[in-house]
Amino acid sequence: MILVTGAAGFIGSHLVDRLLDNGEQVRGFDNLSTGTMENLADAMKSTNFEFIRGDLLNPDSLEKSLDNIKHVFHFAADPDVRSGMEKPDEQFKQNVQATQLLLEAIRRRNSVESFVLASTSTVYGNATKLPTPEDYGPLCPISTYGAAKLACEALASAYAECFGFRCVILRLANIVGSRSSHGVINDFIAKIRANPDRLEVLGDGRQIKSYLHVRDAIEGIVISWQKKKAHVNVFNLGSNDCIDVASIAQIVIQETKSNAHIDFSGGTPEGAGWIGDVKEMWLDTSRLKELGWKPAVSSMEAVTLAIREVLGGRQS
């Protein structure tokens, strides 16, 4: 049986659906702080799925979640990069402490064969090499979110090496698509709905980043797990190209059929959106492509598709 933490969240729920489609038996685990049961509507119809509402910081619910589990996909986290500026302690508790408690429970069970960790491209910080490969270093995160995820990577690697299970670490680019509840697309659409005449864009709009549609992300996640070779495997997961924030704003205006004026404001002196925002992010994904994966759509196509899904209220 497979355990998916953060199963009711954006990426976690899509992963649950895919694993069930593959015929796997899946247990979902989520505290529903950001995820919703609506995201698991299809999964709940399956006899191969069971759901536990629990918190990784609660030892009792955590222990129960690992009964008969052979594989763990750890996608539970506080996903908001910006929240770390106000509540860095929450980033530590929800990301680092929760991950350590999960790994410790896995160690005590001594029955889990593989552990897949959802990490982030922000562990690279302001990388000087683009596209950035997995062996880039030193890793110097510029946000507490990136720092917390890097700590999670270190813990996962150490526990895997010391206690005998295989580990896959996935450094995700910006994942977009249906069921997403945060990020630039959701922010821009909310701003347009609040004021159709003005769209505020934080920073200078020249921030460039890789955007990957959730369907492509799920394919990469599953392939990395199925075809892992080393004891500890690290993979970048992103699109083949980038798109700047100003272009995303233009697409949102076009798709919402508004006449909003783009107002570039705030941000940092360097033009980033906020302190801790990586201004340029583009991942080298050749390592995962060697296993047979490739994204079906570009960053622009992923963004456009995701905007339409959010506007249409699609959950599929």
**CATH number where 79 lies:** 3.40.50.720
What CATH number does the domain containing 257 carry?
3.90.25.10
> Interhelix angle for 98-109 vs 144-163, to 10°?
10
161 & 262 share domain = no
86 & 97 share domain = yes
* Residue 61 confidence (pLDDT): 87
Cβ atoms of residues 18 and 40 within 8 Å: no
Instruction: Grade residue 79 by pLDDT with cuts at 50, 70 and 90.
Output: confident
49 & 89 share domain = yes
Instruction: Grade residue 87 by pLDDT with cuts at 50, 70 and 90.
Output: confident
Residue 218: alpha-carbon gap to chain centroid:
11
* Residue 83 confidence (pLDDT): 65
Would residue 301 count as lying in a domain?
yes
* Residue 89 confidence (pLDDT): 87
* Residue 182 confidence (pLDDT): 87
Would residue 290 count as lying in a domain?
no
User: Does pTM top 0.85 for this prediction?
Assistant: yes
Q: Which residues pair with 209 in a beta bridge?
A: 243, 281
Gap between the Cα atoms of 132 and 113, Å rounded? 30
95 & 156 share domain = yes
Domain with 261 in it: 177-210+241-282+297-312
Would residue 291 count as lying in a domain?
no
283 secondary structure, DSSP code? B
Confidence check: pLDDT of 88 > 80: yes
Would residue 72 count as lying in a domain?
yes
Would residue 195 count as lying in a domain?
yes
Six token digits for residue 184? 């630039």
Gap between the Cα atoms of 200 and 148, Å rounded? 29
Residue 238: alpha-carbon gap to chain centroid:
11
Computed over every residue of the chain, the mean pLDDT equals: 95
Confidence check: pLDDT of 22 > 60: yes
Q: Please give the tally of structural domains in the chain.
A: 2
* Residue 249 confidence (pLDDT): 97
When pLDDT is averaged across residues 282-308 and rounded to a whole number, the result is 97
12 & 151 share domain = yes
Judge residue 194's burial from the number of C-beta atoms within 10 Å of its C-beta, 0-12 exposed, 13-18 middle, 19 or more buried: exposed
25 & 83 share domain = yes
11 & 88 share domain = yes
191 & 135 share domain = no
* Residue 91 confidence (pLDDT): 86
* Residue 118 confidence (pLDDT): 98
